[in-house]
Amino acid sequence: MDDYSFVRYEKFGRVRDFTEANQSDVAGTDAPQHLTNLKKDISGLDYAKAGQGGGSAVPAGVQLDMVRLDVQNITRTARALAQDDPSYNILFRPPEALNPHAIIVAADAILANLIVEDDDDDATKAAKADRIAKFTAKGLPADFTTQLQTDRSKLDDARKTEHNADDDSYENTAAISRLVTDGMKECTYLDAIFHNVYVHNADKLRAWLNASHLERVPHHAQTPPTPPPQTATGGK
């Protein structure tokens, strides 16, 4: 199981334990059904990861979520920057839907407006560098474009690998991707329920947030592509 899936698996366990310990607080909701579904997802993950045979390939579904998170961070920052420069709302649009095609289209459009190409003229290169500088000034990491570029490339590789593979290890890897997605869905439902139930109980809400938090995935270990220039000489 890759790091991305494992931190979610650990979250599922904490959410399960918290919900079981506080079932009386949410007895009037459909939380018990979501808990049942989550426990099935956890059991499925236990079985799937045992059958991976030590494989370390990141499933395409998980890799897609990495791209989605990259795009989310960039477009959220772009909305803030658009307060002074409305072009950021046009250049860095969020996905029109949450399906894979829409996420990939959004990621590719973002990269096209940030990554310097060989045929870019000087003004375009300067504008892209200026945009990157503005994003990093708002707290995105200095290599945020490289991260998106790397995750986008890995997504293509993961899709190709899953398309060509038919052994049990890759079947289990694909199952992990599906179960992680299903588990996160159940956690989102439970998050809404506990926020609503504990709206006037700050201590219980803090306990829920502590149980349901998501650890950060370790930074990419592989050598990334050469990042685009970071020094701005002008802007659009």
Three-state SS string across 98-127, please?
CCHHHHHHHHHHHHHCCCCCCCCCHHHHHH
20-26: long-range pairs with CB below 8 Å, 24+:
22/204, 25/197, 25/198, 25/204, 26/193, 26/194, 26/197
Distance, in Å, from the CA atom of 197 to the CA atom of 205, rounded to the nearest integer, reads: 9
Q: What is the pTM of this model?
A: 0.51
**What's the pLDDT at 221?**
46
**What's the pLDDT at 63?**
76
**What's the pLDDT at 178?**
87
- Say yes or no to pLDDT of 54 above 70: no
pLDDT band at 219 (very low <50, low <70, confident <90, very high): low
pLDDT band at 223 (very low <50, low <70, confident <90, very high): very low
Which helix (H) or strand (E) segment holds residue 11: the answer is helix 3-21
Give the start-to-end residue ranges of the domains of the chain.
3-56+169-212, 60-158
